[in-house]
Amino acid sequence: MTHSASAYPYNLLEERPWLRLAARHAERFLDSLPARPVAAQASFQELRSALGGPLPEDGLTPEAAVEKLASGAEPGLVASAGPRYFGFVIGGSLPAAAAADWLTTAWDQNGGLNATSPAVAAAEDVVAGWVKELLGLPGGASVGFVTGCQMANFAGLAAGRHAVLERGGWNVEEEGLQGAPPVNVVLGEEAHATVFAALRLLGLGSGRARRVAVDGQGRMRPDALAETLRACAGPTLVAAQAGNVSTGAIDPLDEIAEVAHRHGAWLHVDGAFGLWAAAVPALRGHLRGVEKADSWATDAHKWLNVPYDSGIAIVAQPEAQRAAFLKRAAYLIPALSEERDPHDYTPESSRRGRVFPIYAALVSLGRRGVAELVERNCAIARRIAARLRAGGVRVLNDVVLNQVLVRFELPAGDADAFTRAVVSRIQREGTLWASGTRWRDQEALRLSVSNWSTSEKDADRSADAILLAVKEEAERC
Ligand SMILES: *Cc1c(COP(=O)(O)O)cnc(C)c1O
């Protein structure tokens, strides 16, 4: 059905059938999550044909457009918001957070300025305080709400780049890096790919970073860091990690902060999911010294279970974050207010009210609920590891948080090939989905327990499906 302004078939203000239709599709999808196959049921090419064809000359009604999108996309949806998706590190959406995200869309606020949405600016101010408290970070730090940990790493390192160059009298925002004193960048061997992408965007080069040796769980070794820093003169950035994607291990931050600061370096912590362990009293010890860093990056769309996309960049010295991102131009004069202008802390200028789903997630959980969510996922990770170990599977990591790394071996034969075959059998079978990966030059399967709705029953069903895949693949060999 096509429409023109004069021929709308319904009362725009009273009915809004397209919203109802979208809500119905959303509910149907959410209801399907516990039972549907976890992997997508259609290929890229099939989806391309279903969604594609020439752009229609005349537009559809809003309902017809929603219907076309929903029916075309449905077979290609991954149940990554569901309870048995253990791939990468991907959280689901808490009910309150998903509902708040709908409201955010309906409100359609430009969250860049206090002038364009005081509601966004104020909610950011409130949530910033809550997040710092939950994560055990300094109350005076500044906070920017970005799209994910990729941009949070970029923002933290941008603030660091400003600070270390400013100490030598160089204004990198004004002068750029051409002619600037060289900036040393020091990372653990296990630094995340997004840290390298951030270095590329910052003009610091991903290939120039010095790599520091790690221990058997992937934690940066403070003695190796000290040795590397002794060879570095001048402005220096160090990036540590809280939560290795393979093992869940957290760098020894207390010692790293001591070493980094003794050498006058800026310390950034990539804590996409691991920083949330600070919300759990029993796990806080893993993060001892975290508050001594200069900047921190984390995700809300992983362990806090808000819908994509949502990351948080936190900087101990607000001046450094503001120096990196302050936006001032004549047309922005109304922004010169005492209140927070959200875009002064982020690379983006215009942006959605990304903070609202975080607000809803936090108030729906409360302090205790955040701790319980993190703790429950860790307990389920230990449960899966124990059940797999009992079934003869080799667990490669110390299961300290929510990540479980396993490898499948036969009495004789190529364990890499066997592991790959078991991983693809698990992924095809559909009870669960987990990522194949390489750890220390060995093929492995990585499970990340990051979803609020994953139960012990889901854990047992998933472990049993893995053990069955091992058995079936072994029989084939
Ligand atoms: C997921 C992750 C990132 C990247 O986060 P995005 O949400 O994809 O932007 C960075 N570092 C670590 C350790 C991660 O686990």
Is the CB of 435 within 6 Å of ligand 1? no
Q: Measuring from atom 14 of ligand 1, which residue has the nearest CA?
A: 272
Compute how many other C-beta atoms are within 10 angstroms of the C-beta atom of residue 476: 8
Q: Whose CA is nearest to atom 5 of ligand 1?
A: 149
Q: Is 299 in the pocket of ligand 1 (CB under 6 A)?
A: yes
Give CA angle at 247 (243, 251), nearest 5°.
45
Q: Ligand 1, residues 80, 149, 244: which to mutate, most atoms within 8 A of Cβ? A: 149
Q: What are phi and psi of 220, to 5 degrees?
A: -60, 135
For ligand 1, say whether the CB of 148 is within 6 Å of any of its atoms.
yes
Could you tell me the CA-to-CA distances from 474 to 270, 387, 417, 470 in Å, in that order?
Answer: 39, 19, 12, 6
270 lines ligand 1 (CB under 6 A): yes
Distance 177 CA to ligand 1 centre (A): 26
What is the phi/psi pair of residue 27, to 5°? Answer: -65, -40
The pTM of the full predicted model, rounded to 2 decimals, is 0.95
Q: Which of 345, 287, 344, 299 is nearest to 156 (CA)?
A: 345
Please give the distance, rounded to the nearest whole angstrom, from the Cα atom of residue 310 to the centre of ligand 1.
11
| Whole-number pLDDT of residue 327 | 85
Q: What stretches in the chain show pLDDT beneath 50?
A: 1-6, 330, 335
Residue 397 CB partners (closer than 8 Å, separation 6+): 217, 246, 247, 248, 249, 403, 404, 405, 439
Cβ atoms of 450 and 90 closer than 8 Å: yes
Side chain identity, residue 150:
Q
Handedness of CA 410, 416, 421, 425 (dihedral sign): positive
Tell me if 273 CB under 6 Å of ligand 1: yes
Closest to 193 measured CA to CA, from 89, 275, 266: 89
> What does the alpha-carbon distance between residue 35 and residue 100 come to, in Å, rounded to a whole number?
25
Give CA angle at 366 (283, 305), nearest 5°: 75
Give the closest residue (by CA) to ligand 1 atom 13.
272
Direct distance between the N- and C-terminal alpha carbons of the chain, in angstroms, rounded to an integer = 56
Residue 15: its pLDDT value, please?
Answer: 80
Residue 184: φ, ψ to 5°: -80, 140
CB 269 within 8 A of CB 290: yes
